[in-house]
Structures are given as structure tokens and as C-alpha cells.
Structure 1
């Protein structure tokens, strides 16, 4: 048995490099072809080999390995040719398994990978964000003296680009030059592609210019990358200018050059220019539109909702003798359905039958979804029945569209019945199917049914997201069912759902709103037991609840605990702490707590907030003790706070203290509000304190500030 145990070791750190088979490509650029096909000619021969199939089957069972199975894999490894090893690496749906297999095989006694295996692994990694792993493979190749071809560096650069680490991609490029690997067009185009995808268009343009200095002439792929970059930043005129300039640079544009600009025009709703550009493509570049051209334009127009223009190109293509397939028609149908134009969609469907192009499940599903969008679920059901009559079985997407339509018009119970009968009707719900019905039940207020559906969803192998769980928890808490919300969350946690801090905070907030503070505090402690670290929002919710219940001592202790846990207060936390301490009159305790909080996160307006709150509550003596703290910087914020002070004293009829505040402001070079000072002066005069009123007048005249009556 291997020293690594019954399953593959995690050789490289995948935590910071997410990889998923369903990951969307980072650079969906039609102007740049892939570095190589996922399975080359060699793989076409080796992949069906029985030994390769057996190895892949063993890898699929890796989580339940025993010593016998690992011994069998070790035996098979020695029978694999280098090409077959590459086939195994490429055949894995999860790229991390490819990495683990590569490393596991590399550590077997008297086995050494061929150079092709390293390149195959880098090719696989180029489909992921695992750039650090790609760089480690490059370093491993250097240490072992394995020849590093230019495409190896290109694959690593693509991986860095997918991870949005452009500088690291360019470091790989520099590493290639330093290693003395001959620069070629493939690597240069990869660099341009990565820069364009990262929105670093100016750097991409400079890079293309430097390619010439290095003796490498840009090809059509290089220019197509730049054309895409121009379109991405909205500079379509410059993109067209580059197309016009390309022949003078020794590189004629191809159809992809024009398609890229057409796609941008469709996106920007400049549809009338698409046909002009298509004519220009034929006239200026002698590129005659073919079947692919029309299919591309039809799909681009349909994607952005331009159904009328798309059907116009369908007619033009058919007049030229091209046959539009069901995929093209389905795109047009989908465009009409998304805009709620069901009559036009049905006309296209009828036209498909006339042309002998039978609609497929995608076409019918688009129509079902379209009827559901306009609220005509009965017509959608008729379409489903018509599918069966025409020998086209509805799939999960079709049924999910119908479920969504039922839920949108308030018939979620009917949707639930349909979901329950899925097994009898021979279709399998997906996670989206369950989510659609769950949200419908939630919106209609049947929360118990929604919770039961989530439980059934989990039992069938589909885990709801934390966001979906939180929406249900919020609805339960709004209905005063915080305890049921807690039980629901704990059930999801037990069944393996990803419960996060937000979910706990929502339940805690529900308990606080219901006045069940003890349960809120208990759940706060449970978060640590479940390895969930409360954030500042969690603490702030509980701190506010403690203040509302007059439990100031516990409020202070919890705030101190928050600071000890390394959680910094937010301005909202400060406001809540200040509000409840001032309201309770525990000003000394407030000052001590604020000092600790400020040591973690400074907030200049803290004492201003405290003064304004105390003044608002009529506790001027406590507020006056803070005046020195706000008069230190002489800023406008300080003047505004002092104005609040002055107004509060005047409202209390204490003109002398108001005068003292104004005097202290003037000593700090702060200009008080002129109208407030007018009131202070009038009050002093009416109370016979003419000396103070005179001093106030002198100070104002000396500073060039005159009271309104003297202007």
C-alpha cells in the first residue's frame, strides 16, 4: 500500500486555485483559437484502449480505494505507453484528479514520466485557474531537464489569465525568454489574448508592436485579438479601421475579424450596421458570406433579442441556397419568445415544419418558456402535449420552465404536485427545478411546504445555496418563527449544506426581533461550536438588542469580546453603542469603551456623535465634559458639533454657557454659526450681561465677522 493511504494525496495546494469542470472559460474569444485540441490524434487511438479505460475506472473509484485497487493501478501504470498516460491525464473530468494521478505516478518506483506527460498536464491545467500548479510543473520540468516547448509556457500563461493574474502570466513569458526558449507566434498571441481579456488593451497594442521588433510578424489571430479589445472598450470605429489597415500590414482580415465587430454591433443594438458590414466584408475583403457566416449572424442577432432582423437573414440565406438548420431556427424562436412575441415564434415554428426541419426539444422548450413568461401556462401545457405527439420528449429544462411559469402566476401548489409526479412522468428534476418551486412557495407564504421541499431536495442529492436557505430563514423570522428558522438551519447543516455566517446572523436577528435575547446569545455561542466566526454584523445585531433591553453591562462585555476576537467595529457599531449608553446615562462607561474601540479602528466623528446624542437627550453637563476632545483639530465637523451645543444651551435658557462654548470655539479658530451667535448676543443683552455681549461683538469684528444686524 502506498505511503499516501488509500486515495490520492493532495500534492499541490488547490485551496487557492478553484477548479471545476463546469467552469466557464476565462477567454471566450472567437478570434483566438485554442492552443491545441483537448484530445489529439494520438489520444483518439489510445483513449479507447482497454488499459486506459480500466485506469480511468479505478480513478473514478479513488475515494473508496483499498490496497488491492491501488496495487492494481500500480500494475496497470507499468503497462501504459507514454501516449496512453497522456490519454489518462486528459480524460479526467476533474482537472485536480489529473494532477493527483500525475504526481502519484511520478512517485512510483522505477517510473519516470515522458516529456509528453508534462505537456499534457499543462494543457489540462490551461482549462483551469490553477496557475500556481502550472508554474510548479514548469519548475519541475526545469529541475529534471525536461525540454520545455513554447506551448508549455503558453498553457501556463492561459491558466494565469483565467485566474486574473495577468502579471504572473507576463512573468511566465519573461521566464521563457530567460530560459532561452525560442519565441514563437503562439506564445505571443497568447500574451496578447491574456492582456486583452484583462482589459489591458493599451499594453496589448504595445506588445503587438514589439513583436515586430523581435522579428515575429503578427498574424490574423494577433489582429483579431486587438479587434476584440477595441470592441470591448467601445472603440468600434478603430476596430473597423484596423480591419481596413490589416492588408497593408501584410495580413488580410478573415471572417472572424468581421464577426467580432458584428457581435459588438448586435450587443449595442446597432443592428442596421450589421448588414452594411456583411456587404463590406464581401466587397472589400472578398470574403463571400457562406453557411457559417449566416449562422453566426443569425445567432448573434437572436442572442441580443433582434428576432425580426434575424429572420430577415434567415430568408436571405435561404434565397442564396443555404439551408438554416434547427439550431438557427431555435435561436430565432428563442429571441421572439424572450420578448413575449409568441405569434411570431409560432410562425417560425410552422415554417420549420414546412421546410422539413423538425423542431427539437430546445425549440419547444423556448416556446414553453415564452408562454410562461407572458403568463399563458395553459398554452405552454399544450405545447408540451404537442411535443409528445411529434415524438419529442420534454426534458428537465422544459419541465422546469413550466414549473417556473406556474410559480410566477401564483400556482406554486400545482407546481409542487407536478414536481412530486416527476417520477411517474419519467423525468428527473434538477436543482433548479427544486429551487424554482421552493421560491414560489416562499413567495406565496407557504413556508412549511417550502422547508419540506428543501428537505426532499437535499435527500435527492441537491444542496440549496446559502442564499436560498437565507431567504427562507428571513421569511420565517418575519413571521415570528425564529425557532422554526433555527431548526430548519440546523437540519440543513446536519445534512451537509453550506451554512454561512449570514444564515446564523439572520436567525439571531430573528430572535432579537422576537424579544428572545437568550436564544440569540445561545446561538451566538453555537456559531463557534460549528466553526463559524461571527462577523461585525452579527455582533452589532446582538449589541443593539442588549441595548434595547437595558442590559448595558452585557453590551459592554460583548463589545469587548468582539474586539478580543479581532473583529473591528463599524460606524454603525459606534452609533449603536453611543446611542444606548447615552440613553442610559452611563457616560463614563461609554468613554472607557470608546477608548478601547478607537484603539482597534479610529473614527473621527465618535465624540461628535456622543455630544450630539447627549445634547439631544438634554444631558448637557455630560456632553460638556467631552468638549475638549472635539476642539483639538479645529475642523468644520468640530464647529458643527459646537453649534449643536450652543443651540442646546440656548434652548435651555443658559446663555452664559452658550457664550462660553462660542468663546472656546473662537480660541480654537473655529467660526460659529452667525445666526446662533446673534441669538447668544440677544440673550446676553436681554439678561443684562452686556460685558459678555460686548466681548462677543469685539471678537466678531476683529475676525471680520459681523453680526447680521450690523452688516
Structure 2
């Protein structure tokens, strides 16, 4: 190393009093021309480079760096870094480079900093050690997030740096999302005969999985195994994650078995990855099997594990299991986070147990866990569901007071709650408040307000919002069109309702079962029975499975679109005197799994009585008893009058007795009518 300096400096470097000499030359430098200061710095650099050991070099550097501006001593830093690298003290060298980068970045751009350090290092050309200095520089730049600068150094040097430096660039490009550069670096490594390490393959496999290219990830995995490299638990977990994200759970599980067979122990992240994949498919047994396996293998669950379990059981409505795992988590000293509490509150909310959700909220405050927008959004939704709008608005104010950002979902939830309670004007005020906060309404906001105005019969305001949607470039969805069509029908504006239906079709918005039910109900009430029947027959085959499932779901089906359609058609046809057609639709209604309600029975009974179909009446009466439907007073009156007109006074009196025993209102009036008729 002494050959780097002129002969006149060599004797000085070999003397024990070198440090004293430096200090004296430093003193002279302050009162001498600039050349003396340069001499001091040259002597100092020479002393560092020719130190007996890196400890002595660091001592000289630390002594000088306290008084010399580091911005002006790049050579001094370069010398000590060079010395440390030669001694293979790469970590210390890297720390010094990072400190130097931070200092220089205070008044220079990143590329200027990089080129300055590169040029300073380039002056110390000495065999193979020079490439290691640049390798350490590349790693330091990548760790500082300066991957472009690291890549510039990589391209400038004549030979490939060490594998660790190449891996640092690969990792830097992966984190920056610039995968295309990774393959160039990897290709150069392979073409130059450099053997990638397990770290290299781990980074490349991670990149492939992020891009959804699991096939290439598997090729790289097989390649590293063929080269005798042992995949780590991180690599196995990465491959499992990629497969789980594609829903390929069987293959993911196979990798778990494979790693266990070769002696690689799965960790909590491996199990969490598989559990999350199965949880997304609601495969409860598989999730629990993995959970038990991780406990058996001493892979202690963490907060993510319990997030997966609690979220899964909340989704499927198993609230008892949710409570159980929450207790188990606490027993294992796993501290719940805000996500856990949010899952719990959402689960309790969905179960209709707002008080339990509030208990969780108060517990969060007790343990100083700050609620986030999802916490408040869940509780606001819960309050809106039970009509406690003042409490919901109080929480909104609390969000603003505590600095929690109120997002569009929260505003839409509260606006929807207000509109359902008929407080549409307050919903509009909230929309204005939302705009003041910089939150722009979306199609859900407009549709919610339109639906609210339609329900309270303010069609002019609803149409105003409909037109504003068009101005703002929003395409009304099926919900908005359906609400407007239904509103116009209920306000007796048949032409406006049908015009909107035409606009809906023209705009390419496909009507759903709810739209069809509104049209059929509206047309029937306006005497357009044939048009209603036509729409029903045209749309019946096109209803989605979900809509039909809702329509045929036990008692909830009585409020379903299909039930509304059948009811409207039966009612309209009976009023029109077309009892045979009405009976056909009534039979279809029964065969489709729908439960006729009391009004359906009353209408069809009246229709049959009007044309003296007493056998059909008796069959319907038996069906009513079989279905467990409780007749109302109107149905009793219809049956009572029908039997009397037919001359069957015994049946009429039986109906009278049933009515008296039912405790329904106006039973005494019906009794009086029945008694007078029986006397005749």
C-alpha cells in the first residue's frame, strides 16, 4: 500500500510519532497557505491507508473528523472505508458510507453524491479489493433507497461485484416495483459464471409471485434445488403465498408437506399464509386443522393468526366461536390490535348485537387502542340499522373532533340511514358537509338520496338529482332507475315511469328482479294487466340465481321481488275478472316455493267466490289451514259472505265462530251481519 505515495512521505508513516506530527502540521495549516492544509490532509490519508490495522485507521479518522468538515474530506472518508474493506470489515465500512451519504445529501442531489463518492473511491485502485469497495457502496446505496444510483455504480464498474451487492440491487428493484431490471442483473450474473445464492433466488421468486407468475417461480425453485441450494422457509412461504393468492390451495398445501419432508420447519408466517387462503374460501375445517397443527409444532400464533380466525368466524356468523378465539388469544398474551376489534365489532353488529360491539369499543379506549375510520364506520352502521341516528351523528362529530378521517363509505352509511328514516333533507345537508371536507359524492351517494326522495314522494327533487348525476358524468345504476320508476308509479305518473324504463334500457342498464317487480306492480295498479303479464313472462327466465334464491327463501320471500310480481298479477287479474289466469299464477307461485300471504289468499278467495267456485274456495280454505296462515278479518268476511250467499249457513256460522275466537277487531260487526243473514 505504501507504493501509492511519494518516497518523501514514507519515513513519516513509519515513525511512532505520526499522530503528533499530524497534529503539529494541522496547527501549522491554520496559519499557513492552503498548500500546508493540503499537506496535512495528504499526510492524514497516507497514515490511514498505511495503518497497521483497521483499528488504528479508525482512530486517526475519528480524531481528524471531529474538526474537519466532512463535506470537504471525501478522500479522508474514502481512505478509511477502503482500509476497512481491505480488512473485510464490510459492515463498518457500509455504516460509514451511509453516514457519508446522509451528510452529502444535505446540499447535493443523489446522483451527484453517488458520482462524488464513486470518483473518490476510484482513486484507490489496488488489485481486487477495489471491487469490494464498490460492492459495499452498492449495498449502502440500496439500503438508503437509492437503487438508481446503485445501478449506475453497478454499470460503471468493469467487473461484477460480490453476490451480496448483486442481491442488494435485485432487492432494491423488487421493492421499487421495477422487475424488468432485475432480470437484466440476474442474466449478467449467470452469463459471467456467478452462482446465485438462495437469497438471489428468494428475491426472484418473490418478484414472480408478486406478478402472479407462479409458473416461473416454480421453475426458479426447481433450478435452485438442481444447483444444490436449499430453499429456506421464506422461499417456501413465498411460493405458498403466490399459490394461495390464485386460490390453488391444494398445491399450496403440497409445498407445506414438501418442506416438512426435507426438514424445513414452517413458521407462523407459513401457517398464516395457508390459513388466510383457506379462510378466503370459507374452508373452516382446513383453517382449524392448520391452526391445531401450528400449535402442535410450537409455532406460536400471532395477532395475524387470530385476525384470520376471528374474521372468518365473523363472516360465517359463528359469534360464539369468535368470542372463544378472542379469549384464547388473550390467554396466550397476544395483544389485540385495532383490526381484531374491528372484526369483532363488525361480527357483533351483523348479529344484531350492537351493545356487544359498543363494549368492544369501550374496551379499545380502556387499553388506549385508537379507533380508526373502520371502527367508527361499523358503529355508525349499527346505530343506523336500529334507527338511532342521533347516536350515529354523535360518532361522526367525534371522528371530526379526534382527527379521524371520515371517508365516503361512512358518509354514505349515515346518509342512507337518514334517508331510510325519511330525513332526506338532513341527508342532503350531510352531503354538503362532506363536500366542504373535500370528500366527493359518488354514484352510491346520489342513488341513496334519489331513493330517499322517492320514498317520501318528492319526485321533483329526485329527478333533480338524477339530472345532476348526468351533468357530473355519473351513469345512474339499476338502483337509481328502479327507485325513480317505483316513485313515479306510486305518484300516479305512469308515463314518466315508463319513459325512465326506456331510458334505462337505452343506457345499457339491465333491469333486475326489483325493477321488474316495480313495473309489474305499477302496470297492474294502472289497469295495464296484459303489459304486466308480458313483462313478467319476458323477464322471469332472466332473473339471476341470487334473486330467485331470495324470492323463494321461506318467509323472507314474502317481501321478495318475485313475490311482489305474483301478488300484483294475481290481484290485477282478479280485479279484471280473469280468475282462471289468476289461479294459474297462484299455482305457479306455490310451486316455485313461495309462501302466499293472507292478502294473496283473500284476493284469490274473493275471485273464486265472485264466480261461485265453491269447491275452489273450500280447497283454498284447507290450504290456508295447512300452511298455518292466520286469516285476517277481511278474509273471514269474504268466506262468511260467500258461504251465506251459497246457502251453506253451517259453514258461515263456523267462520263466524272462528272470527269471534280470533279476537280480531270488528268481529262483532261481522257477527251481526252473519246473524241477520242466518235469520233470513
TM-score range, shorter chain: 0.3 to 0.5
Higher relative CO (Cα under 8 Å, sequence separation at least 6) belongs to: 1
Larger Rg: 2
Per the normalisation by structure 2, the TM-score is 0.42
More helix by share: 2
